Copies of this chain bind each other. A is one copy, B any other.
Amino acid sequence: MAKQMTEMLKGTLEGIVLAILAVGPAYGYEITARLREQGFADIVEGTVYALLVRIEQRGFVDVTKAPSEKGPPRKVYSLNAAGAEYLNEFWKSWSFLAERLEALRLEGK
């Protein structure tokens, strides 16, 4: 993927993962796989796990353990109230940015 994507993801990936969790609880491995399916082919697992640790420490998600058929137990994350509010702020920031960029794109041609 374009190297620009790497930098663009900083700050947005967090929102993306929170948005995924807003749809329903999920665990790290699953989230990574879902991102890959949706076209974020180059997102490394380590990145997702680190992000999950961060949002857990900031209290945006609740965590439960669930057994897996194969492999270590899954850590299932679900968005809580604080996380939902933070996600809402994220959407505001994103909307602002997207509007500004759309305006610039039109202006440029």
Contact = CB atoms under 8 A, between A and B. Distances in A.
B8 A4 contact: no
Interface string A90-107: 111110111011011101
State the oligomeric state as a number of copies: 2
Task: Give the interface centre of A14, A23, A108 by most chain B CB atoms within 10 Å.
Answer: A108
Contacts of A64: none
Main secondary structure of the interface of A (DSSP, over half): helix
Contacts of A87: 108
Contact of A16 (B7, B92, B96, B104): B104
Interface in A58-109: 87, 89-94, 96-98, 100-101, 103-105, 107-108
A19 B96 contact: no
Categorize the interface residue count of chain A. Answer: 35 or more
Contacts of A40: 100
26 contacts: A2-B92, A2-B93, A4-B15, A4-B89, A5-B93, A5-B96, A5-B97, A6-B11, A7-B10, A8-B12, A8-B93, A8-B94, A9-B11, A12-B101, A16-B101, A16-B104, A19-B101, A19-B104, A19-B105, A19-B108, A20-B104, A38-B100, A39-B100, A40-B100, A87-B108, A91-B105
